[in-house]
Amino acid sequence: MRATLERAALLKALAHVHRVVERRNTIPILANVLLKAADGALKLQATDLDLEIVETTPAEVAQAGATTVPAHTLYDIVRKLPDGSQVALEMAGERGQLTIRAGRSRFTLQTLPDSDFPDLAAGELPVRFEIGAAELRRLIDKTQFAISNEETRYYLNGIYLHVAEAGGASLLRAVATDGHRLARVELPAPAGAKGMPGVIVPRKTVAEIQRLLEDPDGQVAVELSATKIRVSFGQAVLTSKLIDGTFPDYNRVIPTGNDKRLTVDRAEFASAVDRVSTISSERGRAVKLSLADRRLVLTVTNPDSGNATEEIEVDYESEPLDIGFNSRYLLDIAGQLEGDTALIRLADPGSPTLVQDRDDAPALYVLMPMRV
């Protein structure tokens, strides 16, 4: 195998594939990236047996061939090479070593046979649709923060992607929840998405798709079945297993009767919450919201270090209400809102609260209160 290519092109491809590789592996071949040179291109492939990324980049191929080398080591070498350099990859003889040359630098890496490299067979993927990269990125960005880290409730360890009917229109919805907060974002369903199964895309896959979509221009091809998803964008193809579980009926926790409307300046509210929560302890991040006529008082009390209060002017005309929230969750949600104001709908101190940019906004957030 002999191939030469631009450092920048190789680094970009490696940046996408090497992250799939776990730092610690009991199976040696899974620590490697598969390099396949043929027909004027170098194909790079990495997998952890649940997730696979393949990326193709143009290269001058003097001799076709394939091998596997340690992914993180190769990435670190290419990352440290000078900008604009040409990288030559060469494997000669039976010694099982790959030589990397660039300028005056020369590296030799141990290899493992490409025939041992596992392939993540996707099988039939009957549902296929195209979606704008910016739209898919938005679905992920606005919901990812609410994915649960609790391994026992594995069916919450991802984003639930499905098509729902509302008001006579088909909507593609992304939902994530950890039991304390819920994020739901929707957009008009793309052609071909109708009839797709509801799928739970795992957290690691979600993060890798997000990184692939660095360029907001262009279309993404999404193919899926009940057990696998494939996302193709540019020269990269990501294939992943899905979480085998049933996502809970999230509509049951979205309140419909919250009659107390609070409208706040989003940036002012987030800054005030951030300031008063400086006092809160790591364990108890509760901030109390005391609402009265056109006035909101934020209070944090920490028996160990003191207390903090801040008052801001708001648009609120219902009866007075005291309610507590986890300050970090409030800040996470405020960070996702896009408008200048936030609309918060409350019921009572023990019921879920609804947060949106405005009425009928495509993004909706539910937050469970805390006892304060």
pLDDT tens-digit map of 23-82: 888 899 999 999 999 999 999 999 999 999 999 999 999 999 999 999 999 999 999 999
Listed in sequence order, the DSSP H helices in 19-128 are 71-80
Given this model, what pLDDT does residue 191 score? 92
**What pLDDT is attached to residue 63?**
94
Per residue in 307-326, pLDDT tens? 999 999 999 999 999 999 99
Strand partners, 186: 173
At 372, the pLDDT band (50, 70, 90 cuts) reads confident
**Dihedral of alpha carbons 42, 32, 201, 331, sign:** negative
pLDDT at 280: 85
- Give the mean pLDDT of 338-359: 94
Tens digit of each residue's pLDDT (9 = 90 or more) over 112-164: 999 999 988 778 999 999 999 999 999 999 999 999 999 999 999 999 999 99
Tens of pLDDT along 211-228? 999 888 899 999 999 999
Tokens (6 digits) for 56: 């193709």
What letter does residue 159 receive in the DSSP assignment?
E
Q: What is the dihedral of CA 317, 321, 325, 330, to 10 degrees?
A: 10
pTM assigned to the model: 0.92
Cα dihedral 315/317/320/321 (nearest 10): -60
Residue 288: predicted pLDDT: 95
Q: What is the pLDDT of residues 248-269, one digit of tens each?
A: 999 999 999 999 999 999 999 9
Check if the beta carbon of residue 140 is closer than 8 Å to that of residue 161.
no
Which DSSP letter does residue 191 get? Answer: T
At 360 the pLDDT is 87
Token pair 């940019």: residue: 357
Residue (of 132, 253, 139) closest to 185 by Cα position = 139
Give the mean pLDDT of 199-222: 93
